[in-house]
Amino acid sequence: MTKALIVYGTRYGATEMTATEIADVFQKEGLDVNVVNLKNGKVKDISDYDLVVVGSGIKIKKWTKEPEKFLSKFQKELQNKKTALFICCGANYPLDEKADVETEIEYARTNHLEAKAAKYNLTPISYGLFGGVYNFNRMGWFFKKTLSAIKPQLEEAGVPQPEPGLYDTRDINKIRDWATELAQKANA
Ligand SMILES: Cc1cc2nc3c(=O)[nH]c(=O)nc-3n(C[C@H](O)[C@H](O)[C@H](O)COP(=O)(O)O)c2cc1C
């Protein structure tokens, strides 16, 4: 049985929900899967895994620090395994109305995925670029205050709100399709 490890770092919850959704798909595709939030859980050894998926949310153009540390720590071993990187970010839903979505996505792919792989000499079999959440329940006072201005915009656009104050711009089907294809590549 193909063994997969999914590790991630999240600030507002999108990457966590995404990691869980990827894990569900992996299970349905017959993979043995372990999911670790690197903020609470430690990974000591990755030798058992055939596929390692590393995910992070993006804030002010930066990954969370835990998955970055993971890539650094296991860099050598990861070079000899199937890997995949994914991010949850705001590129699909830029806050600046003048911003062009295609340009934002291209920027995120180049800087937050391809550059990250290059930094650790990895050749991932897949990159996942997903939307994020605007989670006012987890924001500090400063961003809560400044970003409150976009609430009407999110409401008007009909962005789903699975719980009050949490706006989810992710496309679940895109995540599931990506995970299905990745599981099939891992099993090949
Ligand atoms: C304060 C703040 C800064 C952000 N900065 C960026 C950014 O620089 N680039 C981007 O693409 N998305 C940005 N976003 C959108 C986040 O990527 C989105 O909230 C995502 O859900 C974060 O992942 P997480 O929920 O797993 O923490 C930002 C969001 C917030 C609240």
Task: Please say if the pLDDT value at position 78 is more than 90.
Answer: yes
Q: Are strands 82-88 and 51-57 parallel, antiparallel or unpaired?
A: parallel
Indicate whether 96 pLDDT > 90: no
Residue 110 pLDDT exceeds 90: yes
* CA 121 to centroid of ligand 1, rounded, Å: 25
E strands, the chain, are 3-9, 32-37, 51-57, 82-88, 126-130, 133-135, 166-168
Mutate to test the pocket of ligand 1, among 15, 58, 146 (most ligand atoms within 8 A of CB): 58
Nearest to 18 by CA among 183, 188, 187, 173: 173
Q: How many CB atoms lie within 10 A of CB 110?
A: 10
Q: Which pLDDT score, from 0 to 100, does residue 95 have?
A: 78
**In the predicted structure, residue 77 carries a pLDDT above the cut 90:** yes
pLDDT level of residue 109 (50, 70, 90 thresholds):
very high
Pocket test for ligand 1, best of 6, 7, 12 (most atoms within 8 A of CB): 12
Amino acid present at 30 = G
Q: What is the pTM of this model?
A: 0.97
| Beta carbon of 67 within 6 Å of any ligand 1 atom | no
Question: Looking at residues 114-133, what average pLDDT do you find?
Answer: 98
Q: What is the pLDDT of residue 85?
A: 98
Rounded average pLDDT over 154-176: 95
Q: How confident is the model at residue 50 (pLDDT cuts 50, 70, 90)?
A: very high
For residue 52, the model assigns a pLDDT of: 98
Residue 36's nearest CA partner among 51, 64, 55 is: 55
The Cα 177–Cα 56 span in angstroms is: 19
All domains of the chain in start order, with CATH: 3-132+169-187 (3.40.50.360), 133-168 (no CATH)
Which of 12, 18, 59, 143 to mutate to test ligand 1, by most ligand atoms within 8 A of the CB atom? 59
Query: Which residue owns the Cα nearest ligand 1 atom 4?
Result: 59
Angstrom distance (rounded) from CA 73 to CA 50: 17
Per-residue pLDDT at 98 exceeds 90: no
131 ligand 1 Cβ < 6 A: no
Collapse the DSSP code of 142 into the 3-class scheme (helix H, G, I; strand E, B; otherwise coil) and give the result: helix
Q: Which residues pair with 54 in a beta bridge?
A: 7, 85
Per-residue pLDDT of 14-48, as tens digits, reads: 999 999 999 999 999 999 999 999 999 999 999 99
